[in-house]
Amino acid sequence: MRKAIVVGTGAGGATAAKALQGKFDVTILEAGGEFRPFSTSLSLIERAKSTGLLRDERWIRLLFPAMNVSRTSERMTLVRGSGLGGTTTLATGNGMRADGPLKEIGINLDAEFAELEREIPVSTGHQKRWRPSTKRLFGICRQMKLDPVPLPKLGDSRRCINCGLCVLGCPRGAKWDSRQFLEEARARGARLVTRTRVERVVCPGGRATGVIVRQGFMKWHMPADVVILAAGGLGTPGILNTSGVECEKTLFVDPVLCVAAEWKGALQNRDISMPFVVQRDGFIIAPYFDYLSYFFNRSWKFPADDTLGLMVKIADSSAGTVSGGRVEKAMTAEDTKRLNSGEELCREIFGRLGIGREKVVRGTLNAGHPGGMLPLTRKESSSFHNERLPENLYVADATILPRSPGNPPLLTIMAMAKRVARVCSMH
């Protein structure tokens, strides 16, 4: 049987591995180790915060090793998952389609989305368990004719206990993450190798023969007939660059800014993350308790139980790059305009709660959905394969999105990975 190597265990990698195992003998490579949910007492965090010890969001790895936080050269905070499951373990489990940019170039993933709906439970049943503060925000957005929509969530909502830890590793297993697909792939015979970093793809004569991997001080060549890169919107371009494949300077990152105010008994920190969404031109708004800002941003001084937050996520411009591990990404004038529009709308919503503008604080600008550095074009809508790549090397993550969808891309990345796996199997 032909051998396939899948690099990465997040949404794209796990989906591709599951789909390919059986047609190929699949080996899945993960740079990190086992995922462990956040386990530090929040009361201890609050005490440490009050002393002023928590100053840099990059220190989050000391508390939660699965969350890798870095900064761009322009000091924007980047958040990535580290370990089995990639960033899916830190995502809010949104099961929404964000394939508008793909439709624009003639790509229809209806069949892949339908498959995913059959494979993963999706529900808006969480709505009946919303905290009063969430219900109040939803009602205000309706009054303002903002058309709020409950977000479908991946997983078993019956197991949810509203602990508010969705983005720190669901302790009850209610939220779906890609480790479930990994287990299915392994049950079918796939091999999973952790703590193994891929340095480059070996491509003599324009064809991939495998990858160079490193474990500690050991380095060797791992052969394969097909290689699928799904190391994420920052990781995959880095591997491609060291493999001699030049990417575009078209990085998007979906910048997120959370604004918050004190609201006694909000208990948003004990509610489901992103329970509903408001869609606007170029940005979205959703209720969200931002742990990163709460832990490290000095403006967020309210007790966790009394903090009420709203997230603004924008569809940013495709203007950035990754080079030698350095991420260069700045906010353009249009990006800033969109972010300011979203922030202003959040302040209006808070105003309907009777919260004065001067009492609303900004959080830490961060980004968690990088992609777009090897974007698909209409020419590649059938092949899902950039002509710069060797014929047996594919990409199955957000790197191939044509532009920022401006919405959570989890389900769309999985649908793309299914298509990539199908194309691989035909060649």
Higher pLDDT, 368 or 178: 178
User: Alpha-carbon distance 311 to 256, whole Å?
Assistant: 7
Least confident of 42-46, 130-134, 278-282, 390-394: 42-46
Residue type, 309: G
Confidence at 387, pLDDT banded by 50, 70, 90? very high
Comparing 251 with 37, which gets the higher pLDDT? 251
Superfamily of 3-34+177-248+372-425 according to CATH: FAD/NAD(P)-binding domain (3.50.50.60)
Q: Does residue 298 or residue 405 have the better pLDDT?
A: 405
Tokens of 390: 């060797």
Span 390-414, mean pLDDT? 97
Q: How many percent of the chain have pLDDT more than 90?
A: 81
3-class secondary structure, 52:
coil
- Structure confidence at residue 234 (pLDDT): 95
| Burial (Cβ within 10 Å: 0-12, 13-18, ≥19) of residue 115 | middle
For residues 259-280, give the mean pLDDT. Answer: 96
Average pLDDT over residues 133-148: 98
pLDDT category of residue 426 using cuts at 50, 70 and 90: confident
Phi and psi at 83, nearest 5°, equal 125, -175
Alpha-carbon span 154 to 168, nearest angstrom: 16
Q: What does the domain layout of the chain look like in residue ranges?
A: 3-34+177-248+372-425, 43-80+124-170+251-367
Q: Is 66 helix (H, G, I), strand (E, B) or coil?
A: coil
Q: pLDDT for 315-340, tens place per residue? A: 999 999 998 778 999 999 999 999 99
Q: What does the block give as tokens for 128?
A: 């009946």
Q: What mean pLDDT do residues 349-353 have?
A: 97
Spatial strand order of the sheet with 226-229 comes to 191-193, 25-29, 3-7, 226-229, 393-395
Query: For residues 372 and 404, is the Cβ–Cβ distance under 8 A?
Result: yes
Structure token pair of residue 386: 């950039």
38-65: b or e for each residue (b if 16 or more CB lie within 10 Å)? beeebeebeeebeeeebeebeebeebbe
Sequence-distant (≥ 6) Cβ neighbours of residue 102 within 8 angstroms:
109, 376, 401, 402, 412, 416
Q: Quick check: pTM over 0.75?
A: yes
Residue 121, CA atoms < 13 Å, CB-side half-sphere = 14
Sequence-ordered alpha helix ranges (H) in 191-260: 232-242
